[in-house]
Structure 1
Amino acid sequence: MSTEKCEAMNEKSDLSRYLSLVSEQIERRIARSKYLTYFLSNKFDRSIVFSGRRSEGVSIAQSDTDFMFEAKGVFVNDMPNLGKSSDQVTQLVMDLTDVHPGYTKLLFENDRNDKDISEFAVYGNGLHSLCPQGTNFVSNTFVLDYWNSQSASILPDQHREKDLHFHGPCVLTAYTIMMTRHEIDVAISFKSKWPVVAEEWIRRERKYNWPSSCMINQIKEQGINLVPVGHANSPNKELEWRLSFSKAERLLVWSFNPVQQICMNVMKHFFNSQIAPKFPKLFPSYFIKIAMFWIIEETENCFWIEENLLPCLNALFERLVVYLEEKKIDNYFIPADNMMDAKPEDKLNSLKLELLKYKYNCNSVWLQILNIGMSTFDKNDIYYHHIQINCLSISRFFIYTKLFDLDYQTCLRNLEGARTILNGTDIFPVMRRHLISEINITKACLQFHNDCNKSKVHAERDIKCIEKKLQTGCALNNSTGKLILCTFLLYTKQYQEALTLLQDIEDQFTDLVVYYRIWERSKKPNDEDYDLSKPRSSFEDTMRTYIALDVIVLPFLLRIYPLSVQSIPTAEEQVLFIHPVLYTKVLKFHCHHMLQNHDECQTVFEEMKTYSAMKQYHSDLFSENIVANCEKILNKACIPIFNHKKGT
Structure 2
Amino acid sequence: MRRDMVDIMEMAENQGRASGEYSEMWSGSYREGFRLKESDIDIMFWPNDHRVIWDLSQSQYYNTHGQTLILCDCSDSPPGFTLLYLLSPSRNQVIQGACVRVNSEYYISSSEYRMIWCSATLPDSIPHGPCVSGVISGGAEYEFAHCFVSDFWPPSASSWIDRCHSWPKPHIANEIVKNGCHFVPVGHKLGRHEHNEWRISFSFAEHKLVYAMNHCQFLTYGLLKLFLTEIINNGLSDEDKLLCSYHMKTAVFWVIQQNTLQQWCPQNLLECFWNCYKLILKWVYDRVCPNFFIPQNNMFLSKVHGEAQHQLFIRLYGLYENGLAFLLHSPSIRSCNINVLYNPRLSICTNENTLISETRFDKELWREIHTIIIIVVMGISCVNRVVDLCGFYVTCLHTIEQMIDLPLLTQYQVVMLQKLTAIVIQKTAFILHIATYTNENKLWYRADKISCHMVKLAAKFGCITDMLYIAMYYYKTLGYMEALSIIEMIKVKLAQPYVMYLSNVDTKMYTEAVGGQSWSTKIKKAVDRDIQLDNDIHYINELVPEQQSALQNSRPSLRIPLFVLLYMLEILCYRHVDTSRIQTALDDLQTLVHHDQGQLIPLLYRDISWQILGICQQVTGNLQAALYSYQQSLRHEPFHKIQTTTEMRIQETCHRLLN
User: What is the TM-score normalised by the length of structure 2?
Assistant: 0.75
Query: Structure 1 residues 73, 441: CA separation in 2 closer, same or farther (over 3 Å shift)?
Result: closer
- Cross-structure match for 2:215: 258
Q: Does 1:58 align with 2:34?
A: yes
2:358 aligns with one of 376, 380, 401: 380
Alignment of 1:392-403 (within 5 A): 394-395=372-373, 398=376
- Cross-structure match for 2:564: 582
- Range that drifts further, 629-638 or 182-191: 629-638
- Cross-structure match for 1:602: 583
Q: Which has the higher contact order (CA 8 A, sep 6+)?
A: 1
- Cross-structure match for 2:313: 349
Kindly tell me the number of residue pairs found equivalent between the two proteins. 578
Take 2:482 and 2:444, find their aligned partners in 1: how far apart are those partners? 19
Alignment of 1:42-53 (within 5 A): 42-43=16-17, 45-53=21-29
* TM-superposition CA deviations, 1:258-311 (whole Å, max 9, x none): 111111111211221111115542111111111111111122786012332232
Query: Structure 1 residues 82, 307: CA separation in 2 closer, same or farther (over 3 Å shift)?
Result: closer
2:325 aligns with one of 331, 342, 361: 361
Query: Structure 1 residues 493, 454: CA separation in 2 closer, same or farther (over 3 Å shift)?
Result: closer
- Cross-structure match for 1:19: none
Q: Does 1:131 align with 2:101?
A: yes
Letter of the 1:197 counterpart: S
Letter of the 1:585 counterpart: Y
Take 1:410 and 1:577, find their aligned partners in 2: how far apart are those partners? 23
Letter of the 2:217 counterpart: Q
Q: Is the 8 A contact 1:477 1:548 kept in 2?
A: no
Letter of the 2:245 counterpart: S
- Cross-structure match for 1:274: 231
Query: Structure 1 residues 497, 637: CA separation in 2 closer, same or farther (over 3 Å shift)?
Result: farther
Q: Is the 8 A contact 1:77 1:94 kept in 2?
A: yes
Alignment of 1:76-95 (within 5 A): 76-81=52-57, 86-87=63-64, 88-95=66-73
Letter of the 2:524 counterpart: R
1:391 aligns with one of 356, 369, 394: 369
Query: Structure 1 residues 624, 222: CA separation in 2 closer, same or farther (over 3 Å shift)?
Result: same
Q: Is the 8 A contact 2:290 2:298 kept in 1?
A: yes
Take 1:446 and 1:61, find their aligned partners in 2: how far apart are those partners? 38
- The CA deviation at 1:36 is 3.9
- Cross-structure match for 1:544: 524
- Cross-structure match for 1:3: none
2:116 aligns with one of 149, 167, 189: 149
- Cross-structure match for 1:9: none
1:198 aligns with one of 157, 164, 174: 157
Take 2:569 and 2:154, find their aligned partners in 1: how far apart are those partners? 61
- Cross-structure match for 2:8: 35
- Cross-structure match for 2:77: 99
- The CA deviation at 1:371 is 4.3
- Cross-structure match for 2:650: none
- Cross-structure match for 1:298: 258
- The CA deviation at 1:628 is 2.8
Query: Structure 1 residues 167, 396: CA separation in 2 closer, same or farther (over 3 Å shift)?
Result: closer
- The CA deviation at 1:609 is 2.8
Q: Does 1:314 align with 2:251?
A: no
- Range that drifts further, 187-196 or 474-483: 474-483
Take 1:546 and 1:412, find their aligned partners in 2: how far apart are those partners? 31
Q: Does 1:593 align with 2:575?
A: yes
Structure label with greater radius of gyration = 1
- Cross-structure match for 1:419: 397
Q: Is the 8 A contact 1:143 1:228 kept in 2?
A: yes
Query: Structure 1 residues 148, 420: CA separation in 2 closer, same or farther (over 3 Å shift)?
Result: farther
* TM-superposition CA deviations, 1:82-118 (whole Å, max 9, x none): 877850433333333343322233445xxxx4x4236
Take 1:181 and 1:259, find their aligned partners in 2: how far apart are those partners? 27
Take 2:379 and 2:198, find their aligned partners in 1: how far apart are those partners? 34
Query: Structure 1 residues 604, 535: CA separation in 2 closer, same or farther (over 3 Å shift)?
Result: closer
1:410 aligns with one of 365, 382, 388: 388
Q: Does 1:188 align with 2:168?
A: no
2:187 aligns with one of 230, 233, 247: 230
- Cross-structure match for 1:453: 438
- Cross-structure match for 1:619: 605
* TM-superposition CA deviations, 1:337-356 (whole Å, max 9, x none): 22223312223323323432
Letter of the 1:596 counterpart: D
Letter of the 1:194 counterpart: W
Q: Is the 8 A contact 1:193 1:223 kept in 2?
A: yes
- The CA deviation at 1:169 is 1.8
Take 1:479 and 1:401, find their aligned partners in 2: how far apart are those partners? 26
Take 1:534 and 1:281, find their aligned partners in 2: how far apart are those partners? 47
Query: Structure 1 residues 102, 467: CA separation in 2 closer, same or farther (over 3 Å shift)?
Result: closer
Take 2:40 and 2:377, find their aligned partners in 1: how far apart are those partners? 24
- The CA deviation at 1:360 is 4.8
Q: Percent identity?
A: 20
Q: Is the 8 A contact 2:617 2:623 kept in 1?
A: no
- The CA deviation at 1:631 is 2.0
1:431 aligns with one of 398, 416, 433: 416
Letter of the 2:4 counterpart: A
Q: Is the 8 A contact 2:251 2:276 kept in 1?
A: yes
Q: Is the 8 A contact 1:103 1:241 kept in 2?
A: yes
Q: Does 1:166 align with 2:121?
A: no
Q: Does 1:213 align with 2:170?
A: yes
Take 1:547 and 1:101, find their aligned partners in 2: how far apart are those partners? 51
- Range that drifts further, 618-627 or 410-419: 618-627
Query: Structure 1 residues 34, 409: CA separation in 2 closer, same or farther (over 3 Å shift)?
Result: closer
Q: Secondary structure at the match of 2:620?
A: helix
